[in-house]
Amino acid sequence: MGFFDKLKRAFSGEKKEQQNEDSEKYNKGLEKSRKTFSDKLNELFANFRTVDEDFFDDLEETLIEADVGFDTAVRISDELKQEVKLKNVKSKSEVSQTIIEKLVNLYEIEGQNEDKELHFSEKGLTVFLFVGVNGVGKTTTIGKLAHRYRQEGKKVMLAAGDTFRAGATEQLVEWGRRVDVTVVRGPEKSDPASVVFDAIKKARDDNYDILLVDTAGRLQNKVNLMNELAKISRIITREIPDAPQEILLTLDATTGQNALTQAKQFRDVTHVTGIVLTKLDGTARGGIVLAIRNELHLPVKLVGLGEQMDDLRDFKPEEFVLGLFKGLLDENSES
């Protein structure tokens, strides 16, 4: 059974009794994005007459506006053209179902070898390095993740590696106070790598389990940022050869295609192992997850599905797709 067929079964009543907390979180968190997808495709089909070149042009434009990415939109359009020829697809419902099926299956295919897991040291200190531009929710993500691991009984430390942005260290210190974890900081404008070195030393000496490292996000000064991140990474690896276990890029889902651009730039700057997508519940641009997977081939590992402390969730692709396409799958199952 294909991935698309599994999704359709989820709305035929077979899995409704098995709805869990994650399903509810994704369903609620993707409400705005789901409505946008449905509205845009319904608008496309409101003027549907026949499957011709004008229709394919409109389809590409609709998918791009839904933030699935240019490459993905063109690929879906091209594959649909082939489907029309092979299966003689003509009706509105057939075309609609084929579009969704193509999107879902493409998403599943592109993620077959994707590593969505967060990796930890088998023994000793685990280090996660967080990168991303200012204002995307990086520090909040670190605080919420610290809370999660603290609740699991781990001994957690934060390193205030963003020593240049006014208030960045204070913000991280406040999160440390809220979730009751240690924060290592340096003087204002101090060398970020020296702060990270001090944090590693203290974490090892005091037998901490996890060190979460905040960094600056001055992408407008790309060369300096690249040098800074490279220096921090060297310090970490010099002190702990198998670290950092994760280099997580934080992106704001509400920025849509700008997030995709940032991801491409940071991928050039450092070895990103995964993405944290914040504010997914507050945006109509959830389609950006499709673009990230299909165009960047970077795994989304964590998503923000609300403002509460436990709303930072491990990314679950099937729950995401169900949450994004639920309305359209419902419509097709009824037609």
Annotated binding site for GTP: 132-139, 214-218, 278-281
Neighbours of 333 (CB within 10 A): 12
In whole angstroms, what is the distance from residue 287 CA to residue 84 CA?
24
Residues 6+ apart with CB under 8 A from 296: 260, 263, 264, 267
Q: Which of 116, 79, 105, 74 is nearest to 295 (CA)?
A: 74
The length of the chain is 335
The secondary element (H helix, E strand) that includes residue 302 is strand 300-304
Q: What angle do CA 279, 281, 287 make, to 5 degrees?
A: 85
Give the closest residue to 118 by CA, choosing from 316, 312, 301, 267. 301
Token representation of residue 250 = 């934080």
Distance CA 242, CA 253 (A): 31
User: Where is the binding site, in residues?
Assistant: 132-139, 214-218, 278-281
- Cα end-to-end distance, the chain, whole Å: 21
Q: What is the Cα gyration radius of the chain?
A: 22
Q: Which residues contact 190 (CB under 8 A, 6 or more apart)?
A: 163
Cα separations (Å) of 67 from 4, 121, 148, 187, 265?
20, 36, 31, 41, 18
Asked if residues 241 and 127 have their Cβ atoms less than 8 Å apart, the reply is no
CB atoms under 10 Å from CB of 53, counted, come to: 8
Query: Distance between CA 68 and CA 223 in Å, rounded?
Result: 30
Both structure tokens of 248: 């997580």
Using an 8 Å Cβ cutoff, are 105 and 4 in contact? yes
